[in-house]
A and B are shown apart, each in its own frame.
Chain A
Amino acid sequence: MFQAILRKEFLKIKYIYIALIILFITALLYLYISTLQSFTKIEPHSMLWYQAVHIGNIYYDVLKFLPSFAAFVLALAQFLPEIHKKKFRIPLHLPINQNKMVFLYLSVGLLLLSLINSILLLSLYFISCIFYPSLIAISSIQTALPWVLASFVVYTFCVAIMIEPYFKRKFFLCVLMIMIVSLFFLNDKYQGYNNLYAFLGLLLVLSLFMPLLSLYRFKNGHYSLLKEKSFIPKLSFFVFLILFLTSFSFFLPFNTKALSKNIDLATYVFYSAPKKQFMYKQHLGYHHFLYGNDKGEKLSLKEYEKALPFIYWRNLDIQKKLPIVVDGISYDKKTIKKARQSFKFSYNNVNENINQVSLYPLFNPSSKKGVISFPNLMFNLDKDFSIYDSQDNTKNLKLSKKYTLALKNKGFTFPAKIIAGKTTNMKPLDEGYFVLDNKDKLFHFKRYDDELFIKNIAYDSKIKIKQIKISESRKKEFYGLIIDESNKAYVLMYKNYNLIKLPLKYYDSNTMKLEIYANAINKLIRYKDEKYVYAVAFDKNFSYLDEFKVNIPQVSSLYQTFFDYAYTFNIKKNPHKSYEEYSFEIGSKKAFILSLSLSLLYLLLFRKEKKEKRVLKSLFLLFTGLYGVIILAVV
């Protein structure tokens, strides 16, 4: 019987399927030709590798919606002839279990979709392998996998929408499909869903129940499921509710938060070297600013700018007030400019992104050239010091062997845990990379005039390094910042590779961004949470001077109030990660008050409804609040 259905379905959709194969081949050819053109135009080729790995340029995004489009067309080709004049009754009358029959139909569609998607993924891999190292090719498959998984969800939902007999429910299934499928496209980074394949797979499995629910409704109309004795329709309806609640509890709070963020107000804190005070500037909205200092005094704009000569030095220069004298030392324009340095460190620092392809440009500055040219070679430190030559997309075995040996001779153990460096050539000088090996030894290596310099850095073994951020500066005072497992921050100094522990009481590297500002006299470190901006002032050598915190003005946001009352629970996307990470969050007490009120209101208002139904619905409202109201209104 399966063969008969397989044959029948294939007869029905063969021309459409062939057209889809042609479309896929055309898209893949386009991908091949456009990639070839890029590699012909751009030199060195490693620049394209860099763009893929470090800029996040997805060179195959022409394929992004192709599987979903194919799924939509396939579902249409397969089921449109069935629902036309309700012909779906013909197969349903055949002597075979009706749920099994629908699954057989779905199996055919999913099988054909799998086949075409496999062709797509394999071709993407092979095309990538022509131009890119296999690391990037494998990553491209992992990045494209959610697009393919989404296509199966599109297929099952389109089938459910077509079988569903009532327009209103068709519409809501459409909305549900858009929400669920969006979850597969939210992240446009490389391997952005690496930790979520199980979740996406679960959504796919749950979506398989939607055609079964539509089948039940096709057969029985609006018949209440409460009276239904069969298990599968009840289970399908339960899954339908789960999917609705999942997507609502993600998208509604997500969008409310996004709206409320638009009116976030900024506060800036600086340290005044002449006054030895912290100065702050608060934005109160509508371009209204408040200026003050750490003594609680309110300042005028003029007083504020005057206290910060190393920030507003350009004004002083125009007003011919330079040089300035602080503590008896004169600072002219050149000194001020030269001393300025800023350094920013973010929670989604490159090292923390566990998903990123581990491939880095191997800079090789020449003592005879004024600029750092982008290298042909890129490296990886997994099994060994693998060096890839982008000009012919091969591994440079000789150099790989040489450098692997050089690292091993210095006591390096593969694979590397962290590789940190500034991967662009748009920098004043190259300090190469700081690498944490597999035994937590810290190394510094750089290539210069074809020679590899390697240094094993001794540091306190109690420090468990979690993140490293490097940023080269001509001042050559510090290489960058190191964060350990217990959230302590250290500055990695040029002098003897010293690690200076920074006294940052409230700093959390997982959620906060950190900024270092340097001028001719001081260093200032600034970080903030939702309520305060924290600032710590140091002297030139990172010796602690003072610290200060100032609140960020909180405007009573209508959206935030709505958020607090409306959502009994929500699925929260971690905004501090570049990859997708979700967590379940129970709402505030205010939200519970609302859901309790809604629940009681339902009991009071719908007294004509049967008791069993009424109690069930009010309990549903108690647990789901606003989501429940929407679901009851549409279901």
Chain B
Amino acid sequence: MKKAKYLKQNAVILKMENVIEVKNLSHAYGKKKLYDNLNFSVKKGQIVGLLGKNGVGKTSLINILMGFLKPLGGECLIFGENSSSLSENTRKRIGLLHEGHQTFEFMTIEQIEKFYAPFYEKWRKDIYYELMDLLALPKTHKISNMSYGQRSQVVLGLIFAQNPDLLVLDDYSMGLDAGYRRLFLDYLHDFVKSEQKTVFVTSHVVQDLEHLIDEIILLNKGGEILKTNLDDLLSNFKSYTLDFTLPSDLKIREIERLVKSDVIRNIEVSKNSLRLYSYENEQEVLKNLQASHTVFAQLNNANINRKEINLEDAFIGLMGRY
């Protein structure tokens, strides 16, 4: 009987493609609207990055997904289960990195491993100690006496040792220097590559994610999202520079307001140049720019240059600098 139930459950899991499904999600803090009818999904095996500026609700979304916050409307499904009442079995399949690499700091390297191990049947002690060996610290070393980077290593070790099917990483880069960020990413990369793991990650260091993620979800203020494939974004989204000195009587904010459109997604004005972001080609961008204000009327093809774009540029191009 038990076996039949187990097989039935597994059959459902195999059929199901979406590991995370967000359906008509709405949430607000008082009058501040975070999401309004938000919809997206993360498929099995995908590595998805959730990007957005500070305060747009990235951590709140993770909290909703992990059942630490009940949304005002809509629902989120994780492995087909409503996120507000995740079963023990589902929680067992999720490796969750809390913002700020939170962990039990009063424990030692050895004690914390012994604490987590009984909760997970697939516990991989070897993975944990492989990462700990890199720290070159005795097993009796207390976590509270570690640096931020070393602590992140312990947390990563604990998550990997769980051998989870889904990794949810809330701002893994917070407080880490470039070296630890790289180490974290390398291990993560190897871990997810070996088996078909699903990763849902947020970070404020956008650049790091470029070599990790397949899909990107850009979350804007008010809950507007853009979900796209990373390769598509980097090949279709373009950045242009123009040598141009803005007359001193014109206000930058005013110009930005006039220039931004469906064609020119963003403009950065500096002392002697302009930087424009668009999915369109040079001619189309130039035409729109000339039409936006008389000061741009004299510009021609010779002034505009296309620049190589990376994830950080794309992020700023789509989300703005401030």
Residue of A nearest to B92 (CB): A95
- Nearest CB of chain A from residue B59's CB, rounded to whole Å: 10
* B104 close to A90 (CB less than 8 A): yes
Chosen A-B contacts, 5 in total, with CB atoms closer than 8 Å, are A7-B114, A8-B107, A8-B111, A89-B66, A95-B92
* B119 close to A96 (CB less than 8 A): yes
Tell me which residues from 74 to 100 in chain A have a Cβ below 8 Å from any Cβ of chain B. Answer: 81, 85, 87, 89-90, 92-97
Interface segment among B32-40, B94-102, B128-136, B256-264: the answer is B94-102
Q: List, in ascending order, chain A residues with CB within 8 A of B74's CB.
A: none
Query: Roughly how many angstroms separate A22 CA and B116 CA in the complex, as a whole number?
Result: 32
Query: Given A11-B111, A221-B70, A223-B70, A95 and B118 touching (CB < 8 A)?
Result: no
Task: Answer whether residue A4 sits at the interface, using C-beta atoms and an 8 A cutoff.
Answer: yes
Task: Answer whether residue A333 sits at the interface, using C-beta atoms and an 8 A cutoff.
Answer: no
Query: Roughly how many angstroms separate A328 CA and B88 CA in the complex, as a whole number?
Result: 100
Query: Roughly how many angstroms separate A223 CA and B111 CA in the complex, as a whole number?
Result: 37
Q: List, in ascending order, chain A residues with CB within 8 A of B92's CB.
A: 95
- Nearest CB of chain B from residue A1's CB, rounded to whole Å: 5
Tell me which residues from 183 to 238 in chain B have a Cβ below 8 Å from any Cβ of chain A. Answer: none
* B70 close to A219 (CB less than 8 A): yes
Extra inter-chain contacts (9) besides given A95-B119, A219-B70, CB under 8 Å: A4-B117, A4-B119, A8-B115, A11-B111, A89-B98, A93-B66, A94-B119, A95-B89, A95-B91
Task: Answer whether residue A12 sits at the interface, using C-beta atoms and an 8 A cutoff.
Answer: yes
- Nearest CB of chain B from residue A103's CB, rounded to whole Å: 15
Query: Roughly how many angstroms separate A87 CA and B69 CA in the complex, as a whole number?
Result: 14
Q: List, in ascending order, chain A residues with CB within 8 A of B68's CB.
A: 89, 92, 218-219
Chain A interface residue count, CB cutoff 8 Å, equals 24
The 7 residue pairs across chains A and B that have the minimum distance between CB atoms? A95-B92, A220-B70, A95-B88, A223-B70, A95-B91, A4-B118, A8-B115
- Nearest CB of chain A from residue B321's CB, rounded to whole Å: 29
Best-surrounded residue of A7, A8, A92 (most CB of chain B within 10 A): A8
Task: Answer whether residue B67 sits at the interface, using C-beta atoms and an 8 A cutoff.
Answer: yes
* A81 close to B106 (CB less than 8 A): yes
Q: List, in ascending order, chain A residues with CB within 8 A of B105's CB.
A: 81
* A93 close to B88 (CB less than 8 A): no
Task: Answer whether residue B103 sits at the interface, using C-beta atoms and an 8 A cutoff.
Answer: yes
Query: Roughly how many angstroms separate A94 CA and B91 CA in the complex, as a whole number?
Result: 7
Query: Given A1-B119, A4-B114, A93 and B70 touching (CB < 8 A)?
Result: no
Q: List, in ascending order, chain A residues with CB within 8 A of B98's CB.
A: 87, 89-90
Task: Answer whether residue B84 sits at the interface, using C-beta atoms and an 8 A cutoff.
Answer: yes
Query: Roughly how many angstroms separate A97 CA and B91 CA in the complex, as a whole number?
Result: 10
- Nearest CB of chain A from residue B152's CB, rounded to whole Å: 15
Query: Roughly how many angstroms separate A298 CA and B260 CA in the complex, as a whole number?
Result: 99
Tell me which residues from 1 to 44 in chain A have a Cβ below 8 Å from any Cβ of chain B. Answer: 1, 3-4, 7-8, 11-12
Tell me which residues from 18 to 76 in chain B have a Cβ below 8 Å from any Cβ of chain A. Answer: 66-70
* A221 close to B69 (CB less than 8 A): yes
Residue of B nearest to A3 (CB): B118
A219-262 interface mask toward B, CB cutoff 8 Å, 1 = contact, 0 = none? 11101000000100000000000000000000000000000000
Q: List, in ascending order, chain A residues with CB within 8 A of B89's CB.
A: 95
Residue of A nearest to B162 (CB): A95
Query: Given A92-B68, A219-B68, A85 and B115 touching (CB < 8 A)?
Result: no
- Nearest CB of chain B from residue A94's CB, rounded to whole Å: 5
Q: List, in ascending order, chain B residues with CB within 8 A of A230's CB.
A: 85
Q: List, in ascending order, chain A residues with CB within 8 A of B70's CB.
A: 219-221, 223
Query: Roughly how many angstroms separate A220 CA and B66 CA in the complex, as a whole number?
Result: 11
- Nearest CB of chain A from residue B111's CB, rounded to whole Å: 6
* B84 close to A12 (CB less than 8 A): no
* B94 close to A93 (CB less than 8 A): yes
Query: Roughly how many angstroms separate A85 CA and B106 CA in the complex, as a whole number?
Result: 15
- Nearest CB of chain B from residue A219's CB, rounded to whole Å: 6
- Nearest CB of chain A from residue B296's CB, rounded to whole Å: 49
- Nearest CB of chain A from residue B201's CB, rounded to whole Å: 17
Query: Given A1-B119, A8-B107, A97 and B88 touching (CB < 8 A)?
Result: yes
Residue of B nearest to A7 (CB): B115
Query: Roughly how many angstroms separate A94 CA and B103 CA in the complex, as a whole number?
Result: 12
* B120 close to A95 (CB less than 8 A): yes
- Nearest CB of chain A from residue B128's CB, rounded to whole Å: 15
